[in-house]
A and B are shown apart, each in its own frame.
Chain A
Amino acid sequence: MQMETQIKPKQRMKRSRINRLKYGEYLWGYLFIAPFFLGIAVFYIWPVLQTFYFSFTEWGAFNKYSWSGIDNYTKLASDKSLMHAFQNTLQFVICSVPLTIIFSIIAATLLNQKVRGLTLYRTLYFLPVVTMPAAVSIVWKWLYNGDYGLINYVLSFFHIKGPTWLSSADFVMYAIIIVAVWMSIGNNMIILLSGLQGISSSYYEAAEIDGARPLYKFIHITIPLLTPTIFFVTVMQLISAFQMFDLIFMMIGDKSMVIQSAQTVVFLFYKYAFIDNAKGYASTIAIVLLVIIMVVTAIQMKLQKKWVHYE
């Protein structure tokens, strides 16, 4: 009894001191992240919440809006052009993400060797990333021109009559995918390159002693040890692929005859919000896309246990 009463106040004192200490630490911690957090809250979290609210409203001219309940969500289900836009987006994601990852890995591996003019090659591959998408679009638009474009001119040497790439419903999506892949290789390549350089050379030395060939080393050492980076790159790439907008806006435009075959969900969102001025319904689409991206990312997080090796 006596002992217990002796210990209790001590413990209590200790705990409260820890609390006070911890409290101070937390306070300072939160104080330090406050500027950043406030920025995020004002420019990201708050708009997201607002969009959620707007998805239940109906908009008229000059930003006058009124509550409309779940009308927008029921309208969503019967919107044919939205379904079409989802198909287009899915096609874009399924084609562009694997291609980007594969080409980025190849580029990164090749640039991880000691060759002459390495920095030059690295710069060349990275150049599309630092070029303005607007400039990229204009140049590619000319390359793709059906009658006077360089691509069809080159094809004519092989007696192939090239299509009107950007104005034929069958080719337009592939034309966009090619540019998108070309543009995003650079960024992913740099991240993968840093992943490659993080792999300890002792693995390769050990494999060489055992007489492993280069391809074998690539498949059994490089790829497995690169999986954390590949995973990161895939998640980021998938998210940005779902949000494809700029190339379609600049290379196709809302008045093109093939826009139905090229418009992604985000483009349709833009069209509803800023051309048709139906900002309420557009918010609904944004929310649905947000949910889809969240679900896809969550699935990826779950699946990573099956294929990602952490050292």
Chain B
Amino acid sequence: MKRMFMVTLLAFMVMMAGCSGGSTSSNEGGNASSTDSKTTDTNTSKETKASDSKEKVKITYAGWGASPYKEAYPMIKEAFEKTHPNIEIEIQDTPNKQYWQKIETAANGDNLPDVFWMNGPRFIQYAANDMLMPLGDLIKQDNYDMNNYPKSLVDLYSYNGESYGIPKDFDTIGVWYNKALFDEKKVEYPNATWDWNKMIEAAQKLTDPTKGVWGIAAGFDSQGGYYNTIYQSGGYIISDDKKSSGYDKPEAIEGLRFWVDLINKYKVSPTMAQMTDTEPLNLFTSGKVAMLWEGSWNAVEFSSNDYLKDKIGVAALPKGKEQSVVIHGLGHVMAKNTKHPKEAWEFLKFLGSKEVADIHTKTGVAIPAFNGTQEAWVKSKPDLDLQIFIDQLAYSKPYPVSRYTAKWSSLEPDILKKAWAGEVSVEDAAKEMAAKMNEALAAEK
């Protein structure tokens, strides 16, 4: 009897499995129709919204601003709600490390925030998979002026000729340095005329093993590190047609070698193992490292750090074969299946306005993308020469992206770190990286 029951139960469950399995697989085909019905849903709800504008609508806004945005977020929320009393903004801030996992899960569950931050490497994946609202019609309808932003950033958030995002800000990289450590060894502060050799020389003078102080931290960092030096030695990471990797070209190998040599040849940087235990940023903010290549977004953090605030300086990146720096900018995008497209667009326009750019500059969190407001950002921290981040625009190169950037960029730590640790030669690591990256790029089409 018992056995009979178990058998029937099992059979029943298998049947259940079969049924639901069928329904999930058919879901794929049926997806289009279900989204269709959803859009008609939103259309009808939009109409009712329009007729009854007094009803309060909640717009969710997600980003990874963290502590630098502590001031900026509430200011943005307050300013918008004042002019739009029927819209309430709910801010969802997530640390950068977990942000994309959260957004991707939300995307899978048709549950994206109405308005959220987007970056270059992820943009095409979201746009190509129909997750983002195309803005072209809305821009035309409202005569919204996209010329307010640098063209390179507008292009970064366009896919197949259609705009999907409003540029939020941009960032470039600089050499942050600790003046106290420079003064102690009587070394001249870094400046725009430096080249790689000059920087290595200075790092050698600054390194003091007895005190546990290193001249520079050659951390494993793409945007803040080797992407810049690859460009500076005349190389590239991804070809313009996004079909092949530049890692195995001699110029790129030179760019990688700069960092590896700082650790293993000149010994002016902590080892990879030490920087795994204690992050370069923490070594720098505790006075163990004299120079650090880092982004403009650190201006708030460094100038408010108790230890660093009276010792911090910043200079343009040194010159390799040529001068270069990576530029990247964030954008504000809108979910395709937002329940309140009208209100979300209102908020998106507001985020792209000069008013919000001014909030950015006032709090110093990022270089605003709105043309003409950058100067105010530079002045937000008068003790720091933030102008270098703007000046470097002249020779900046774009952050390398493809359709599924993460597929190959996630391989970089696995493969290239072995060179940083001195386990394999730079050439071998670069060749392996190029091969794997070409494989990933070939699978994209």
Contacts and interface: CB of A to CB of B under 8 A. Distances in A.
Contacts of A156: none
What are the 7 A-B residue pairs with the smallest beta carbon separation, nearest first?
A: A167-B276, A167-B273, A164-B273, A257-B417, A63-B108, A146-B277, A255-B413
Given A62-B108, A63-B108, A257 B276 contact: yes
B410 interface: yes
B104 A147 contact: no
B277 A145 contact: yes
A167 B407 contact: no
Contacts of B28: 64-66
Interface in A203-260: 254-260
Contacts of A26: 1-2, 5
Contacts, number: 71
Nearest to A45: B13
A61 B125 contact: yes
A28 interface: no
A168 interface: yes
A54 to B, nearest CB: 10
B382 interface: no
A62 B277 contact: no
A145 B104 CA distance: 33
Given A22-B1, A49-B17, A61 B129 contact: yes
Given A63-B108, A276-B407, A146 B101 contact: no
A146 B125 contact: no
Contacts of A65: 28
A258 B276 contact: yes
A148 interface: yes
A278 to B, nearest CB: 10
B212 interface: yes
A41 interface: yes
Nearest to B416: A257
Contacts of A258: 276
Contact of B131 (A62, A146, A255, A259): A62
Interface of A: 22, 26, 30, 41, 45-46, 49-50, 53, 61-67, 144-149, 164, 166-168, 254-260, 274-277
A260 B1 CA distance: 52
Contacts of B404: 61
Nearest to B275: A167
A267 B102 CA distance: 19
B21 interface: yes
Contacts of B107: 62
16 contacts: A26-B1, A26-B5, A53-B17, A61-B404, A62-B129, A67-B25, A147-B212, A147-B278, A164-B273, A166-B277, A168-B273, A257-B220, A257-B272, A257-B413, A275-B406, A276-B410
Interface residues of B, number: 33
B269 to A, nearest CB: 14
Interface in B379-422: 404, 406-407, 410, 413-414, 417-418, 420-421
Contacts of A256: 276
B154 to A, nearest CB: 24
Given A255-B413, A274-B101, A147 B407 contact: no
Nearest to B21: A53
Nearest to B272: A257
A53 B18 CA distance: 10
Nearest to A163: B273
A41 B414 CA distance: 39
A62 B111 CA distance: 12
B274 interface: yes
Majority secondary structure of chain B interface residues (helix, strand, loop or mixed): helix
Given A64-B28, A164-B276, A166-B276, 11 more contacts: A41-B13, A61-B129, A62-B107, A62-B131, A65-B28, A147-B278, A164-B274, A167-B272, A257-B220, A257-B273, A259-B414
Interface of B: 1-2, 5, 13, 17, 21, 25, 28, 101, 104, 107-108, 125, 129, 131, 212, 220, 272-274, 276-278, 404, 406-407, 410, 413-414, 417-418, 420-421
Contacts of B418: 257
Contacts of A167: 272-274, 276-277
Contacts of A30: 5
A260 B274 CA distance: 17
B5 A146 contact: no
A257 B273 CA distance: 8
A49 B10 CA distance: 12
B437 to A, nearest CB: 14
Nearest to A147: B274
A282 to B, nearest CB: 14
Question: Which of A149, A166, A255 is packed against the most chain B CB atoms within 10 Å?
Answer: A255
Contacts of B108: 62-63
Contacts of B101: 274
A276 B404 CA distance: 10
B122 to A, nearest CB: 10
Contacts of B414: 259-260
Nearest to B2: A26
Contacts of A63: 108
Nearest to B288: A147
Which of B21, B274, B276, B414 gathers most chain A CB within 10 Å? Answer: B276
Nearest to B411: A276
A164 B275 CA distance: 10
Contact of B104 (A22, A49, A62): A62
A46 B14 CA distance: 10
A66 to B, nearest CB: 8
A113 B316 CA distance: 69
B172 to A, nearest CB: 23
B245 to A, nearest CB: 18
B410 A146 contact: no
Contacts of B273: 146, 164, 167-168, 257
